[in-house]
Amino acid sequence: MSTLLQALYEGLINGTIYALIAMGIALVWGVMGILSFSQGEFLMIAMFVAYFFSTATGLPPILALPLCMGILFLLGLGIYKTIIYKALQGPTLSQRLITFALSLVLVNGMLMFFGGTFKTIQKTGMEGSINLGPIVVAKNRIIPFLIAVCVFAFMLWFLNKTRQGKAIRATSMDKTAAEHVGINTERSYALAFGLSAAIAGAAGCALSYYYYCYPSVGGNFQLFGFIAVVMGGFGSVEGAIVGGLIMGLVDSLTGVYFNTAFKYLGVCVIFMLILQFKPKGLFGGK
């Protein structure tokens, strides 16, 4: 029983990180039809920001959250304005590959400037664990979880309840119609790309609590994010969150109850099963 609870808990916690990555991918795809291969690298850059902030000031990484999100938002905006904007006017293939190229540039750029050593924040201000009877809750997983929940809540609120959010959703559903009711879809694009980078920024800050950081750290998270996005229904932000959480749970439960060597297999089997019964994903094809 305690093992089951612990496995569910750990799966959920890990799932929130996948969900954050997936959310950004879903947002960008939904709005502008671009596959954001650079989401994992945005996560990585935010981890570096959190790491350098925390080691330089001695303050806990949570305080770097505004910095992580802000820097990544601006970076995303800048990348949109300079690179993505141009690619969107080009052929489909270059739209597909541009973020892939971007991710290679970011990984190698960071490797050049900061080297490939593994960096972890050793003083997060949340060392040790709390024993809650059946489960052990690591203190340094509490804040990442809260960050993720806050970002989910904020994004759902933003997209559904605010003017810019509605503009972004309208743009993703029908660009032409949106333009004719006064929505600057160019701004929606830029904002959506910036926001998705900022979400990865939050994920990076959260992850820096317990994961090591190095230039290629984003790769596997990116991959899991993609699977979560497809699972949830391409382009659906809500679906991406659910997809991410399912990934975390399946990953953890397969590891504990079947075989740790088959963790990824479990994820892929569930992924294929979902696509078998709901080809457009859990939240797709309404």
Partner 1 sequence: MNLKKALSAAMIGSLMVVGLTAVAHAEDVIKIGWLAPLTGTAAENGQQVTWAAEMIVDLINEEHADVNMLLAADAGLPNLDGAKIELVEADTKGDTTVATSEARRLISEEGCVALTGQLTSGMSKAISVITEQYEVPLVTAGSAVTLTDGSEDYEWLFRYNLTDNTYIDDSFKLMGEANEAGTEIKTVAFLSEDSEFGANIVTVEEALADEYGYEVVENMTYAANSTSLSSEVIKLKEANPDCLMVAGYATDVILLINTMSDQDWFPKMLIGQRGGFVTADFFSALGEKTEYIFSTGGWAEDIQKDCIQSLEEIYPEYSKGIAFNEGMSKDCADVLLIASCINQAGSTDPEALAEALKAPDADCTQIFMPWTAIEMNEYNQNTAATGVIMQVQGGSYKTVYPEEVKTVDAVFEAPTWSAR
Partner 2 sequence: MSKILELNQITKKFGGLVANENVSFDVEEGEIVGVVGPNGAGKTTLFNSISGAFLPTSGSITFNGQDITSLPAHECAKIGIGRTFQIPQSLNDMTVEDNVVVGALCHTNSMSEAANKVEEVLKLCGMEKYRDMLAGKLNVAQKKRLEIARAMATDPKLLLLDETMAGLTATERVEAVELIRKINKMGIAILTIEHNMDVVMRVSNRVVVLVSGRLLMVGSPEEVTSNPEVISAYLGGGSKDESE
Q: Applying CB under 8 A, which residues contact partner 2? A: 161-163, 166-167, 169-170, 173-174, 176-185, 286
Instruction: State which residue, 69 or 183, has the beta carbon closest to partner 2.
Output: 183
Contact partner, 45, from partner 2, partner 1, none, Cβ < 5-8 Å per class: none
Gap between the Cα atoms of 193 and 147, Å rounded: 20
- Our finding on whether 240 is near partner 1 (CB under 8 A) is no
Which residues neighbour 225 within 8 Å (Cβ) at sequence distance 6 or greater?
A: 18, 21, 22, 24, 25, 39, 40, 240, 244
| Beta carbon of residue 165, minimum distance to partner 2 (angstroms, whole number) | 10
- Our finding on whether 1 is near partner 1 (CB under 8 A) is no
Gap between the Cα atoms of 45 and 165, Å rounded: 25
In angstroms, the Cα distances linking 62 to 49, 114, 145, 209, 227 are 11, 22, 11, 9, 28
| Beta carbon of residue 253, minimum distance to partner 1 (angstroms, whole number) | 8
Contact partner, 219, from partner 2, partner 1, none, Cβ < 5-8 Å per class: partner 1
Report the run of H or E that residue 188 belongs to, with start and end: helix 185-207
Task: Give burial (CB, 10 Å; 0-12/13-18/19+) of 133.
Answer: exposed
| Beta carbon of residue 169, minimum distance to partner 2 (angstroms, whole number) | 7
For partner 1, how many residues bind (rule: CB under 8 A)? 47
- Our finding on whether 55 is near partner 1 (CB under 8 A) is no
Residue numbers 152-211 binding partner 1 by CB under 8 A = 210-211
- How does DSSP assign 241-268, residue by residue? HHHHHHHHHHHHHHHHHT-GGGHHHHHH
Contact partner, 177, from partner 1, partner 2, none, Cβ < 5-8 Å per class: partner 2
Instruction: State which residue, 133 or 163, has the beta carbon closest to partner 2.
Output: 163
Contact partner, 276, from partner 2, partner 1, none, Cβ < 5-8 Å per class: none
